[in-house]
Amino acid sequence: MGSWQGILALLAIAWTLQCAGTLVQVRRYRDAFRELSNGWSDGWMGAGKGGSAWRGAALAMVVVGPDERVRRAVTIRGRTVFARAERLSHLEGMTTATLRETAGQAPRDAVQAALLSALDQIATVRAAQEARAETSAHVSHSENWADAPA
């Protein structure tokens, strides 16, 4: 009976360590996300994931300005709680089209796949914002036309 208690105690310790490691990883991701999102008042930010648990995964966060240039790119890669945010300064100033082309050359690489996913997210958000702005402008124009004297 004592061996079962020992096994259960080891499982409980392993589970506790896993929970603590998860909290550390989430905190690091949140800190990197907060730092990027508070840096600029305009532009867009996208986050993407690439890779797999077997080959190694990566997260990428990309901030793009209204001029379609990358302002900041950060990646978090690794399988352990020791993974930290790494700034990809060589991508800063690059256009989104150039970054998409560059990342597309190695789509099986976890970081490149994460960058492509982040760019896709930015494109989706921008398209939705532009559609809302167009709809809002159309509704505003229609309301003005309807209020005009006959």
Where do the domains of the chain lie?
Answer: 2-147
Q: Considering only CA atoms, which of 39, 58, 38, 56 is closest in space to residue 48? A: 58
Q: Are 147 and 140 in contact (CB under 8 A)?
A: no
Statement: residue 119 has pLDDT above 90: yes
Q: Are 115 and 62 in contact (CB under 8 A)?
A: yes
Q: pLDDT tens, 12-60? A: 999 998 888 888 878 887 887 788 778 777 889 999 999 877 777 888 9
Q: pLDDT tens, 53-74? A: 777 788 899 999 999 999 999 9
Q: What is the pLDDT of residue 97?
A: 93
Quick one: DSSP state of residue 69?
Answer: B
Question: What is the spatial distance between Cα 97 and Cα 66, in angstroms, rounded to a whole number?
Answer: 14
Question: What is the spatial distance between Cα 149 and Cα 128, in angstroms, rounded to a whole number?
Answer: 34
**Which residues on adjacent β-strands are paired with residue 61?**
47, 74
